[in-house]
Structure 1
Amino acid sequence: MSSSRGKLGGRFGRLLIRSSEPIAVVSRTGRLVAVNPVWEDLTGWPWEIARNLRCRPRFHHDNESLVLLARCLSPPRLNTSQADLAATTRRVRIPDRDGDAHDRLITWVPLRDSAGAWSHWLAILRPVPPLDPSHATAHHDPAEQAVAEAIQQFAAEARARREQRQATRGLVGAGPRFDLLRRRIEVAAACSASVLIVGEPGTGKRLVARTIHELSPAPRNKTPLLPFDATALPTDLMEQSLLGPPPDSPAMPCSPPPIARGATILLIEPAALARDLQARLVNEFARFEAINARFISLTRTDPAQAVAEGRLRDDLLARLSTLVIPLEPLRERLDELPALASALLERANRAPGRCPSGFDTEALTILTSYDWPGNVRELLHVIEAARRSGLGDPISAADLPRSIQGALGAAHPPPQVKPVPLEERLKWVERHWLTQALTLARGNKSKAAAWLGLSRARFLRRLRETGCDPAAGSACLDNHHHADETTSSQSQVSDRKSDESQ
């Protein structure tokens, strides 16, 4: 099981993760050992907080919901020997983080170790089966019916809040910047204004767009998200699909259907649209507003720069950017990388195969030292490769691809060259141009000084200070080249001898 939900590993831990029922593992002393993701969805409490629970009737905590949860998960009292332990079931009301209570049947199954001794309790939460309609009474008290309707409405609101949490669960991150991103997504989902999402490739622009669409109120979230990629579709097909045929053109026999009312249009790279298509989109933008269609646009470039370069009309940008959501690259939020990597690994562990529990310290150091030009997409590929090719648990530095460790560069170290001080290098550059000027002027010092923009007196002074003999011409530069080549040759010979000795 992933380290964020407990320390159970192996096949048993993988079975808990893939179970469709809420499951918790409690030790003999009442300590919560592990939970599965469905348990987190039911209670609303992440493992980082729930791990502090002591499942006993007298558990003290500042949060009343956690106290009630600990009481509900307190194991049954034993009135028999360990050899006669059997599964027991009782009905409980499981409180969640929002203060709602859920009627569940909790089944306690004793777990035994390899020696056959009782070690843990397995708590399985199942829904309470409905009552038999034949036992229901025909008379309904109005007061009881009003209370039942209020409870149903309260449960529906709690279910809507839970669905909203689940819709944003695909977004992974931590810290104030991630909280700001979630608030921007919630604001964009609550209205019908156009949204522009700006970010580098691999930052999750499509995921943010899908989250906004799924969090939108009904019936908008029930309509499909219609993608239009300006970089992939030909201009004619893009115009026919998005705007329909031009007014003066004959109707096509296989023209695409019009945009439905309340649809969400995902426009990818609007700056790649042809200029005449951009102008027509601006003119017909009111038609989309009349059918309550919303635009969510994605771009990897700076839209202001695209307007300055003439690739994007400013009036089209104004209509598409009522709300702007910038996505920072991964290299600018490396403080979130450990939590992001753990969440991506936890999601990858749901697939068949090796399920490492996390990353060791050296592996996390390598991950946080890399600049991630491919952003979150590249991080996901690295985690998948380490999960499939690694052998130990947790993931170590040896499991990570060599491309992010700098190991490929270390395999071919640069030649060892004797360091040259900066002043000496500057003198060499100056000697080069002084000699070049003398060569072009055929030894005429006045013409050489004029060619360099210097007076004759200053030109002669620079010749003396740099050690360049005017009569020798380019000989001073050749002597300096010969000295550098001798130093380099000596260094290569010493390196070759060192390699042979090894």
Structure 2
Amino acid sequence: MSKRAKRGLATWLTGSTLPIFVLDDRNVLLVFNRGCEELTEWPASEMIGRKCEYIAVANSSLPESVTGALCPPKLSESEISKSVLSVIPSQSGKSTRKRIEFFPLREERDETSFRMMGVILDEAESEPARPTNSHYRLAELQAELQRRFRVSRIVAASPLMERVVSQVRLAAESRLPVFLQGERGVGREYIARAIHNATTFADRRFVQIDCETLSRFEIHRSFRRLLDQETEEPFSGTVLLRNVDHLPLDLQMELSRALQQLLRSRWMSTSRYKIDELDPEKFEPVLAAQLTPISIFIPPLRQRREDLPILVQSLVEDANFGREVQREGVSPEVEQEFASYSWPGNVSELVRTLEKAFRNSSDSVIELEDLPADFRIGQDAATARPRKPSLPLEEYLKQIEEKRVREVLEQCGGNKTAAAEILGLPRPKLYRRLAQLGIDVAQDAPSEEKDGA
């Protein structure tokens, strides 16, 4: 092709109102034409030179929301084009469902190096719809959540998680304390940070205090620093008390008094347990009421199965960030394996599994053989023959105690004074234990009097 013809083609390409873009072999934007500018409301000067990573970003104020939507799928050497659905955001916040036709532009002299041209079409103008991929479903869900709740970084396809997102929105619109309850690994801290980032506190500090792992001294020192409002720069931000049910009682009282004052900080807390069901002798009821104006229950992963495929896709795309080699998702076989697993470690276990599988994978899609050995071990444990249900510790110890007491009583012929000596208990305490264990206290009492009891 002559140089004049190439210049004419380039002029037409950049000026066309049909949205067309071109990527190099590293997925860096080389062309972002007039049609793309009109569709996305982003100027070419802002977009050219940016790398398109396989990451769905719902925040339309970021150019990555567009580059993530334009990332091409992997094409085999025999494919001359590939069509994918995509959600194209505009800078003003509107999202449009489109189809992108990708065409590899291979160099005649170097078949290993090529550029990729993408043509953005309305769905009605393109070929009949194929099954949508997880990347598209994730982008579509994020756009819907952003529209309805102004929250997009929480995967909520299930009714239970939709309820969580609506509560997150409510919490973000106030400065009331928030209590997050759920099993280990469900993402309590992630939700807390999502609330923080959605508020006017987003540009301020987010401080976490783990009441389970830190010593009383360390927690008290943190409280002194955070609660002192007389300093030149009193703390203004969000404080998250992780596992608040482990907070020492004297520090509970100190915090309760502080929360009665008008603080510039926002307090949140987490626990595996419902805070109003904690022993009032171990957790101050007044503080429990102060910490729970807004309470959010985060369901375990086994109760939100509808979220699993899109959550997996979201985590894979998070892992793509900044990496040279990208993954498009997981294979249908992996999805099936994940769906049949109970995930006792919840989202945290899923994150660890995918991080290891990502490193093991050498293809654009994570396959069964990429899954780590500890996931297989967890599967085997979950599918093993269920054991006989075990008793709670207190009931188990009670049964052992009852068996031992009955053995000693039988050994002593029912003489409770002798039994108390063998068991190392005062006789009145033995009588109380016998009553609690349901052993007849009056049995053989006369014989004890004969023996001088």
Shorter-chain TM range is: 0.5 to 0.7
Per-residue CA deviation, residues 105-134 of structure 1 (Å, 9 max, x unaligned), is xxxx9962254799953589xxxxxxxxxx
Shift of 1:184: 1.0
Q: How does 1:334-483 map to 2 (within 5 A)?
A: 334-352=305-323, 354-405=325-376, 409=380
Does the 8 A contact of 1:40 with 1:47 survive in 2?
A: no
* Aligned equivalent of 1:172, options 155, 179, 187: 155
Q: Secondary structure at the match of 2:186?
A: coil
CA contact (8 A) 1:349 1:355 kept: yes
Q: Do residues 98 (structure 1) and 94 (structure 2) align? A: yes
Q: How many Å separate the matches in 2 of 1:186 and 1:319?
A: 20
Report the alpha carbon displacement of residue 244 of structure 1 after superposing the two structures with TM: 6.4
Whichever residue aligns with residue 339 of structure 2, its letter is: T
Between the aligned residues of both structures, percent identity stands at: 22
SS in 1 for 2:180: strand
Change (3 A) 1:398 1:193: same
Match in the other structure for 2:240? 266
Q: What letter is aligned with 2:271?
A: T
Contact 1:195–1:296 under 8 Å retained in 2: yes
Partner of 1:323: 294
**Matched residues in 1 for 2:166 and 2:33: separation?**
31
One of 266, 281, 287 as aligned partner of 2:255: 281
Report the CA distance shift for 1:38/1:365 in structure 2 as closer, same or farther (over 3 A): closer
Following the alignment from structure 1 to structure 2, what is the Cα–Cα distance between the partners of residues 11 and 209?
A: 40
Q: Report how far residue 337 of structure 1 moved.
A: 0.7
Q: Distance in 2 between matches of 1:301 and 1:24?
A: 56
Shift of 1:314: 1.4
- In 2, the alpha carbon distance for the partners of 1:196 and 1:48 equals 36
Q: In the aligned structure 2, how far is the partner of 1:171 from the partner of 1:295?
A: 21
For the residue of structure 2 that corresponds to 1:182, the secondary structure is helix
Cα distance in structure 1, aligned partners of 2:233 and 2:243: 19
Q: Which residue of 1 aligns with 2:165?
A: 182
Q: Is the 8 A contact 2:211 2:246 kept in 1?
A: yes
One-letter code aligned to 1:267: L
- CA 1:99–1:48 in structure 2 vs 1: closer, same or farther (change >3 Å)? closer
**C-alpha contact (below 8 Å) 1:230/1:270 kept by paired residues:** yes
Q: What's 2:11 paired with? A: none
Match of 2:27 among 15, 20, 23: 15
**1:354/1:388 Cα in 2 relative to 1: closer, same or farther (>3 Å)?**
farther
How far has the Cα of 1:312 moved from its partner?
1.6
Alpha-carbon deviations, 1:293-336, whole Å to 9, x = none? 3211111233233236x432211110000100111111111221
Aligned to 2:195: 212
Closer, same or farther in 2 for the Cα pair 1:328/1:246, shift >3 Å?
Answer: closer
Q: How big is each residue's C-alpha offset from its partner over 1:145-186, in whole Å with a ceiling of 9 and x where there is no partner?
A: xxxxxxxxxxxxxxxxx9999994432342333332222111
CA deviation vs aligned residue, 1:264-299 (integer Å, no higher than 9, x gap): 221122221211221222233222xx2333211111
| Alpha carbons of structure 1 residues 173 and 405: separation in structure 2 relative to 1, 3 Å | farther
Q: Does the alignment pair 1:221 with 2:202? A: yes
Distance 1:177 1:384 in 2: 26
**What TM-score results when the alignment is normalised by the length of structure 2?**
0.54
Q: Is 2:275 the counterpart of 1:303?
A: yes
1:133 aligned partner: none
Give me the whole-angstrom Cα distance separating, in 2, the residues matched to 1:39 and 1:320: 33
Alpha carbons of structure 1 residues 376 and 166: separation in structure 2 relative to 1, 3 Å: same
Q: Per the alignment, in what secondary structure is the counterpart of residue 15 of structure 1?
A: coil
CA distance 1:354–1:111, shift in 2 (3 Å): closer
Q: What TM-score, normalized by structure 1, do the two folds share?
A: 0.49
Check the 8 A contact 2:320/2:327 in 1, yes or no.
yes
Question: Partner amino acid for 1:176?
Answer: P
